[in-house]
Amino acid sequence: SAAGFLTGGRVENPSTPNDEGITPLHNAVCAGHHHIVKFLLDFGVNVNAADSDGWTPLHCAASCNSVHLCKLLVESGAAIFATTISDVETAADKCEEMEEGYIQCSQFLYGKSAFLFLCGAQNNYLSSHTIHFENSNESYGKVKAIFRIRSK
């Protein structure tokens, strides 16, 4: 098992970050090592560990337009609404528009955000998001939507 391997004296705590707050999960996600990401998640590492700028593994996956890793992280409890410190962006905002996989990744993350928003999971969240859609002419467009919930 993952726990047996990691606790067999080889690795003390796989959630331990380096001096910049980067964890092994961040590194595995950024390198696109799907099996290692799954292994670490199965072990129970902190899926929402943030580095010194607030980047979570989900931000890393989104910046690589890796919809597969984004789905895996979200299914493991990744916080969709977590924001970075310097630019206050969610993982969905980090999808790279000029790179392959952008449409699928941004649609997945913005779709999850909208679903969670409608379910009230964001706790009085106020945010501005660019939502991507495909129109009948096969070209892509964007619309900016602002979500706001009033405190009770």
Give 60-116 pLDDT, tens digit per residue.
Answer: 999 999 999 999 999 999 999 899 999 999 999 999 999 999 999 999 998 887 666
DSSP reduced 3-state for 122: coil
- Read off the tokens for 44: 């129970």
Cross-strand pairs, 147:
127
pLDDT confidence of residue 132: 45
| pLDDT score of 146 more than 50 | no
Q: What is the mean pLDDT of residues 22-48?
A: 96
Taking the C-alpha atoms of residue 124 and residue 103, their distance in angstroms, rounded to an integer, is: 28
Cross-strand pairs, 146:
128
pLDDT confidence of residue 13: 85
pTM for this prediction? 0.72
Taking the C-alpha atoms of residue 48 and residue 122, their distance in angstroms, rounded to an integer, is: 15
- Please answer whether residues 13 and 39 qualify as being in contact, where contact means their C-beta atoms are separated by less than 8 angstroms: no
User: What's the Cα-to-Cα distance from 68 to each of 33, 37, 105, rounded to whole Å?
Assistant: 11, 11, 8
Taking the C-alpha atoms of residue 105 and residue 111, their distance in angstroms, rounded to an integer, is: 10
What pLDDT band is residue 136 in, cutting at 50, 70 and 90?
very low
> What domains are defined for the chain?
2-147 (1.25.40.20)
Q: Which of 68, 63, 115, 118 is nearest to 92 (CA)?
A: 63
Higher pLDDT: 49 or 9? It is 49
